[in-house]
Amino acid sequence: MATCLFCDPEAGREHCRQNFGLRMDILARSRHFFVIPMPGAGTNGYLLVVSKEHHHSMADLPLARFEELLGLLGLLLPEVEKAYGPAVLLEHGSTCKNISCMIDHAHIHIVPVPEGFSILDDIGQKYPLTAMRNIGDLVFWGAGEHVAPDGSNGRHVGYLFYRERDGKCFIHPLASVERFEPQYLRKVLLLRLGRSEWDWRKNLDQGQVDDIHLRLGHLGNVIGLSEWGVEACGPMQ
């Protein structure tokens, strides 16, 4: 559809209700981001952090926005861990409108996983991953050109970002979107979790959404009391 459902979260919420019968709501907002349950998550506690402004990837964020993202993740991850356990982070970063993802709008996945879980080798079999110092190195990968901390540089049409439970970060630059599989990182993750179905449209579960609101409904207050906060979100309607 023409409207970006992340640029207009109310339209996204209505789209989920009308097309899938799924009641969704924003969990929390900071100045430039909002946090929502992942629709069709396929596993419990799965969140999305979404830029309010339309950027193609988190790497494309202005520096001030990126600093806010890091601060926001620093607040969210401990709360997710208390409710569900440690989480991994995933992003398929895009540099332009292309067929390599379903929504061309910056969003990062937070997914609680069991102890010992990793998809590092699973991804690496197809897309060799390069270690990063930390998630902050994403700032070197914006606008389709990266300048790595070691001074090397190159062009790409997108990237795959993965952060382990222990905070170790990895990236793979995509030289082409030809034959790239939408939802690839979700597929790898859910298959590793033992799920046979990974397409979000086939995993719609109101119970998982409601459970997130029950366990993490306080996130609005946590963020609202921080330097990044704007307001506490009310209960799901």
Q: What angle do CA 77, 161, 222 make, to 5 degrees?
A: 20
**Overall number of domains in the chain:** 1
Alpha-carbon span 42 to 205, nearest angstrom:
8
Residue 24, domain member (yes or no): yes
pLDDT in tens, the chain (237 residues): 456 767 777 777 887 888 888 898 899 999 999 999 999 999 999 999 999 998 889 999 999 999 999 999 999 999 999 999 999 999 998 866 554 445 678 899 999 999 999 999 999 999 999 999 999 999 888 877 777 666 667 778 889 999 999 999 999 988 777 667 888 999 999 999 999 999 888 999 999 999 999 999 999 999 987 888 765 554 433
Residue 102: domain span: 9-229
Give the tens place of pLDDT for each residue, 152-169.
Answer: 677 788 899 999 999 999
Distances (CA, A) of 24 to 41, 43, 63, 125, 188: 12, 16, 30, 35, 25
CATH number at residue 93: 3.30.428.10
Residue 14, domain member (yes or no): yes
Residue 109, domain member (yes or no): yes
